[in-house]
Homo-oligomer: A and B are copies of this chain.
Amino acid sequence: MMSIKDKVAVIGVGCSRFGENFDLSYEDMIVEATYEAYQDAGIDPKDIQAAWLGTVNPEVGSCSGKSGGSLADPLRLFDIPITRVENYCASGLDAFRNGCMAVASGMYDIALVVGAEKMRDSPPNDTLVASVWHHSHPLLNKGMSYIGFFGMSANKYREKYGLSDESLARVAVKSHHNGALNPRAFFQREIDVKTVTDSPMMAYPLRLLHCAPVTDGAAAAIITRKDLAKNFRNDSVLVKGLGLSVSTGFNINFNPDYDFLTFRSTQIAARQAYEQAGVKDPRKEISFAEVHDCFSITEILNYENLGFCQPGEGTRFIDEGVSTLEGDLPVNPSGGLKSFGHPIGATGVRMIYEITKQLQGKCGPRQVKNAKLGLAHNLGGTGIAVGVTILGN
């Protein structure tokens, strides 16, 4: 098997503002993110030869997003191939991965990858559409929910290794600190540990401020082959590894033996990406990471499952400040899902946006030091599909 390493370059990125975008439609946000990426790459829309759209539920249970047409229509980007990719919350990184492989194969010189989701205008939980959808949901129809699942993870972690309310809260505090430095983040305000521990209980021990918000947003990336990248810019960023693993079914999550701490798909997708990128010791070689912090406990488990520390050492990792902006391995300098927001299909591509900008040294007050190799981690469902992408200079 040949490696993808250094075959594909990111030459432009764009990102809409994330948040409650009641004044922007799904299509508006796609246009905003993509035209910023066009400008960033210095290209014209007609230069795009193929595109990928990562999106999950543009409208729950509806026809939106069922084809590449949902990207072609708002961008007037016709007469090229456009593929719609869906892989739960990992849809964004998987769209990016498919785009990169197509470029690496030589089929297209310049390609566009967009992730987008409109969530704040979705039908609320008490509507018929939502109840129909929920009835068929593999977790919800068993009386489970995502926060219930990750609440179980936190309880299992506490039982096995110990977990203080303060450690758990520090993840959210860090995310909000970074988000406050980021003009596009959903939440741009600092919070302290007490604000988190005083916030309403959602699923013990997870409180409101441990949870990523429901968000509208879109992000875009433009890619080309490495040998063509210098025609566009001198500071393009290279794709080093593209991992994806579908490692557990919902039936495994419901296995009574499941420990709720091991996300096998994260471990395997990371192993694929490390091997491709030639990373032997992620703790030393990865400069910074954007990880899928849907809940505070998930970020702690991600540290361990990505090999940034040993199992059970995740809390020390946050307590000792290793993952802060000033730490040895900054995690979620953007503010993460918690503070930047989490429009499902957009998140993976938004991570590519952040990592590219960090590697280019363009992140101002939230810039990490010595950004050489950045990792993006995008977790779908309860770990059913996970993408890990590594970019570098």
The answer to whether A84 touches B83 (Cβ under 8 A) is no
Closest Cβ neighbor of A98 among chain B residues: B98
Since A1-B108, A66-B88, A128-B132 are in contact, a sample of 5 more A-B pairs with Cβ atoms closer than 8 Å, ordered by chain A residue number, is A69-B385, A71-B246, A79-B264, A82-B244, A83-B244
Segment with Cβ contacts to B, from A55-63, A200-208, A230-238: A55-63
Interface membership of chain A positions 33-75, coded 1 if the CB is closer than 8 angstroms to chain B and 0 otherwise: 0000000000000000100000010011111111111011100
Q: Choose the segment among A133-141, A164-172, A310-318, A352-360 that binds chain B (4+ C-beta atoms closer than 8 Å).
A: A133-141
Known contacts A63-B137, A97-B81, A136-B63; A250/B69 CB under 8 A: yes
Is the Cβ of A63 less than 8 Å from the Cβ of B138?
A: yes
B56, B66, B104: the one within 8 Å of A66 (CB): B56
Does any Cβ of B come within 8 Å of A220's Cβ? Answer: no
A63 and B73 CA atoms in complex are apart in Å by 25
Residues of B within 8 A of A381 (CB): 67, 69
Nearest chain B CB to A115's CB is how many angstroms away? 14
> A81-114, CB under 8 A of B: which get 1 and which 0?
1111111101000100110011011111100000
Number of interface residues of A (CB under 8 A): 71
CB pair B249 A78 closer than 8 Å: yes
Contact between B102 and A98 (Cβ–Cβ < 8 Å)?
yes
Complex: A163 Cα to B381 Cα, angstroms: 52
CA gap between A80 and B136 in the complex, in Å: 26
Tallying the copies of this chain within the complex gives 2
Within 8 A of B (CB), among A218-235: none
Q: Once the chains bind, are B384 and A69 in contact (CB under 8 Å)? A: yes
Q: A296 near B: Cβ within 8 Å? A: no
Contact present for B67 and A384 (CB under 8 Å): yes
Smallest CB–CB gap between A333 and chain B, Å?
27
CB distance B107 to A67 under 8 Å?
no
Distance in angstroms from A294 CB to nearest chain B CB is: 15
**Residue in A66, A81, A86, A106 with the greatest tally of chain B CB atoms within 10 Å:** A81
Q: Decide if B106 touches A1 in the complex (CB within 8 Å).
A: yes
Known: A69-B381, A85-B83, A107-B242. A129 touches B1 (CB 8 A): no
Q: In the assembly, what is the distance between CA of A78 and CA of B94, in Å?
A: 16
Partner pick for A86 among B1, B86, B129, B132, CB 8 A cutoff? B86
Q: Are B132 and A78 in contact (CB under 8 A)?
A: no
- Chain B residues with Cβ below 8 Å from A106 are 1-4, 104
Q: Sort A-B residue pairs by CB-CB distance and give the 8 closest, nearest first.
A: A2-B106, A61-B61, A62-B136, A81-B244, A104-B105, A73-B249, A105-B105, A68-B246
